């Protein structure tokens, strides 16, 4: 439960992000420049999402290539990687109760509340901070603090329960799990005629590998009906909040679902807003501002003529087109250059940027699979495949694959002599040769004989050298001894 930061020279991206968020919160308490606070937060998000470890980028002198990391933060990180601590950060934190940072992941508590609670309740010990806060709430001490009351005291108690159960957005789910939750909710929403359309948005629509919460938008002329139906979802455990334009619930499984509703004629703007990402939206809105437009989930306003009515967009294509941009595939909307790339050709040429949006790899583009486990009995030590090769070939055919390769694990070394391993692999090679000469072969252009070969702790492969001659190819991978030093 402790969220104390791990600091040191071997800090990873997740831990750096946490550290930068703590600094952002510290600046917020100190009344620092509002945009500096935002800058630290943005740098945190950028490092969290970076595809390389910040420490490796630092090694190559490329830290400032991360958008949002400039000279200042890069120099602090340089100090962090060299010395394991940052003097400037320590100075910022000095005088602030360290326990307050334990509260930042409790839903509804931000920097200001965390600080006030710590100070007024004299909470000193980081290790027991959350428990101390809970005790204080139960004794009615929070309601007495200025700016808090009976209701906020109850809300904090509830939030601590949620936090202790690990039911916070920071504990992310894998994409397929979130997909399942979203699909169930969408079927439920579609049961009432008021729902014109319902879509999973946010990180789900962007197909991010891990998902914090489930975001859903509904197109409707009867928002009140949809929202009331939503909050009565049978699997809902708790209503978090509810208003005229949406609601948030917590499900019995501890997951959060956010709903936003919008009229059909303005649904395009809602799709754009609620798909995100946050920094894609901010970047897009900044670009629009320079052109004299103000963007929101309701549509586009002309800044000069605020009296002019907001313009509706029923679909996303028109919304982006109004900004002279190509429609951007949701998978690319992470503010990593896609906005500049989407600017229509004449503008790109003016700016000397000829490149458009990249063409994404679609499922149909996948032409084969060279890592497949069949149930062919090679007597591996673990995880044999479930289906016969013939069945797998048929499925590959229905997927329009041109080729596949079979890569069962190598025969277990502990159970077999070298000769036994070779004879097992000979049998498999004969089986594949046979398939290649049989009718099934016509389904695919190529069926290859591979093997997933263990790399042993001493670096050797787990099959004899001459067994390699029996294979078309091998996949070598490590299956044990993960705690060896680098």
Ligand X SMILES: Nc1nc2c(ncn2[C@H]2C[C@H](O)[C@@H](COP(=O)(O)OP(=O)(O)OP(=O)(O)O)O2)c(=O)[nH]1
Give residues in contact with DNA (CB under 7 A): 33, 35-36, 38-40, 42-43, 64, 67-74, 88, 107-114, 143, 146-153, 155, 169, 202, 213, 215, 241-248, 256, 258, 278, 281-282, 285-286, 288-290, 294-298, 301, 350-352
Residue placing its CB nearer to Mg ion in the complex, 260 or 428: 260
Q: Nearest approach, Cβ of 112 to ligand X (angstroms)?
A: 18
Q: Which of 235, 126, 245, 123 is nearest to 183 (CA)?
A: 235
Continuous H helices in 368-417: 389-398
> Strand, helix or coil at 138?
helix
Least CB distance to DNA at residue 68 (A)? 5
Residues in the chain, how many?
Answer: 486
Choices 186-194, 211-219, 225-233, 339-347 (CB under 5 A): range interacting with Mg ion: 211-219
Q: Which is nearer to ligand X, 97 or 202 (CB)?
A: 202
Q: Which residue has the CB atom at the shortest distance from ligand X?
A: 276
Tell me whether residue 67 or residue 98 sits nearer to DNA (CB atom).
67
* Cβ at position 302, least distance to DNA in Å: 11
Indicate the burial class of 343 (C-beta count within 10 angstroms; 0-12, 13-18, 19 or more): buried
Please state the closest distance from residue 276 (CB atom) to DNA, in A: 8
Smallest gap from residue 15 Cβ to DNA (A): 18
Q: From the list 215, 297, 316, 338, which residue makes contact with Mg ion (rule: CB under 5 A)? A: 215
Type and span of the H or E element at 152: helix 150-164
Binding residues for ligand X, rule: CB under 6 A, are 169, 202-203, 211-213, 215, 273-274, 276-278, 281-282
If the CB atoms of residues 202 and 368 are measured against ligand X, the closer one turns out to be: 202
With contacts defined by CB under 5 A, name the span among 149-157, 203-211, 219-227, 386-394 that binds Mg ion.
203-211
- Judged by beta carbon, residue 93 or residue 111, the one nearer DNA is 111
What would the 3-class secondary structure string for 226-245 be?
Answer: HHHHHHCCCCEEEEEEEECC
Cα dihedral value 322, 324, 327, 333, nearest 10: -100
Cβ proximity of 458 and 415 under 8 Å: no
DSSP structure string for 47-87: HHH-SS-HHHHHHTT-GGGSTT--HHHHHHHHHHHHHSS-H
Structure tokens at 396: 């590959």
Q: Does 97 bind Mg ion (CB under 5 A)?
A: no
Nearer to DNA, 286 or 391 (CB): 286
Which residues from 258-297 bind Mg ion, rule CB under 5 A? Answer: 258
- 277 touches, from Mg ion, ligand X, DNA, none (C-beta below 5 to 8 Å by class): ligand X
Tokens found for residue 46 = 């950028």
Beta strands across the sheet bearing 368-372: 368-372, 403-406, 446-449
Closest CA to 184 of 123, 233, 238: 233
* Residue 113 interface partner, choices Mg ion, ligand X, DNA, none, CB cut-off 5-8 Å depending on type: DNA
Answer with the entry of Mg ion, ligand X, DNA, none that 112 interacts with (C-beta below 5 to 8 A by kind).
DNA
394 binds, among Mg ion, DNA, ligand X, none (CB under 5 to 8 A by kind): none
Is the CB of residue 123 less than 8 Å from the CB of residue 99? yes
Q: Which is nearer to Mg ion, 117 or 198 (CB)?
A: 198
User: DSSP alpha helices (H): ranges in 241-299?
Assistant: 267-275, 278-290
Considering the complex, what minimum distance in angstroms separates the CB of residue 408 from DNA?
A: 45
User: How far is Cα 264 from Cα 222, in angstroms, rounded to an integer?
Assistant: 11
Rounded to a whole number of angstroms, the minimum distance from the CB of residue 348 to ligand X is 24
Residue listed under structure tokens 């200025």: 146
Cα–Cα distance measured from residue 285 to residue 410, given in angstroms and rounded to the nearest whole number = 55
Is the peptide bond between 15 and the residue preceding it cis, with omega within 30 degrees of 0? Answer: no
Q: Which does 39 bind (CB under 5 to 8 A by kind): DNA, Mg ion, ligand X, none?
A: DNA
User: Residue 98 or 254: which CB sits closer to ligand X?
Assistant: 254
Measured in whole angstroms, the distance separating CA 34 from the mean position of its chain's CA atoms is: 27
Q: How far is the CB of 477 from DNA (least distance, A)?
A: 37
Q: Is 68 in the site for Mg ion (CB under 5 A)?
A: no
Q: How far is the CB of 257 from DNA (least distance, A)?
A: 10
Give me the least distance between CB of 229 and Mg ion, in Å please: 19
Q: Which residues pair with 448 in a beta bridge?
A: 405
Is the CB of residue 215 less than 8 Å from the CB of residue 274?
A: yes
- Interface residues with Mg ion (CB under 5 A) are 202-203, 212-213, 215, 258
């Amino acid at each position: 439960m402790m969220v104390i930061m791990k600091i040191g020279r071997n800090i990873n991206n997740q831990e750096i992000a946490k550290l930068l968020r703590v600094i952002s919160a510290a600046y917020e308490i100190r009344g620092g420049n509002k945009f500096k606070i935002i800058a630290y937060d943005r740098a945190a998000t950028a490092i969290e999402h970076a595809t390389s470890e910040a420490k490796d980028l630092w090694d190559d002198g490329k830290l400032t290539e991360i958008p949002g990391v400039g000279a200042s933060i890069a120099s602090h990180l340089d100090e962090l990687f060299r010395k394991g601590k940052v003097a400037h950060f320590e100075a910022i934190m000095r005088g602030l109760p360290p326990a307050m940072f334990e509260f930042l992941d409790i839903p509804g508590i931000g920097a200001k509340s965390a600080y006030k609670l710590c100070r007024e309740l004299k909470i000193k010990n980081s290790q027991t901070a959350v428990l101390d806060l809970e005790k204080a709430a139960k004794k009615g001490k929070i309601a007495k603090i200025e700016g808090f009351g009976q209701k906020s005291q109850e809300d904090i108690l509830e939030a601590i329960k949620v936090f202790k159960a690990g039911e916070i957005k920071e504990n992310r789910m894998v994409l397929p799990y979130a997909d399942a939750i979203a699909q169930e909710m969408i079927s439920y929403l579609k049961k009432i005629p008021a729902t014109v359309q319902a879509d999973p948005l946010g990180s789900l629509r962007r197909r991010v590998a891990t998902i914090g919460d489930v975001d859903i938008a509904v197109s409707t002329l009867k928002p009140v009906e949809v929202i009331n139906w939503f909050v009565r979802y049978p699997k809902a455990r708790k209503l978090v909040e509810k208003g005229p334009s949406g609601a948030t619930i917590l499900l019995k499984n501890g997951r959060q679902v956010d709903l936003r509703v919008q009229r059909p004629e303005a649904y395009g703007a809602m799709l754009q807003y609620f798909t995100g990402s946050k920094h894609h939206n901010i970047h897009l809105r900044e670009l629009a501002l320079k052109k004299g437009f103000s963007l929101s989930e309701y549509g586009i306003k002309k800044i000069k003529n605020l009296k002019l009515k907001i313009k509706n967009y029923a679909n996303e294509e028109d919304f982006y087109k109004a900004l002279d941009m190509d429609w951007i595939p949701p998978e690319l909307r992470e503010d990593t250059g896609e906005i500049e790339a989407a600017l229509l050709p004449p503008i790109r040429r003016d700016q000397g940027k000829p490149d458009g949006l990249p063409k994404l790899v679609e499922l149909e583009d996948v032409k084969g699979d060279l890592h497949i486990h069949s149930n062919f009995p090679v007597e591996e030590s673990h995880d044999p495949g479930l289906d016969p090769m013939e069945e797998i070939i048929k499925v590959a055919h229905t997927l329009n694959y041109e080729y596949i390769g079979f890569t069962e694990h190598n025969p277990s070394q502990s159970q077999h002599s070298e000769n036994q391993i070779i004879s097992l692999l000979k049998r498999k090679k004969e089986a594949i040769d046979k398939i290649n000469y049989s009718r099934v072969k016509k389904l695919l252009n190529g069926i290859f004989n591979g093997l997933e070969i263990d790399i042993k702790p001493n670096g050797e492969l787990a099959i004899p050298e001459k067994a390699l001659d029996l294979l078309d190819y091998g996949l070598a991978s490590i299956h044990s001894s993960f705690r060896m030093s680098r």
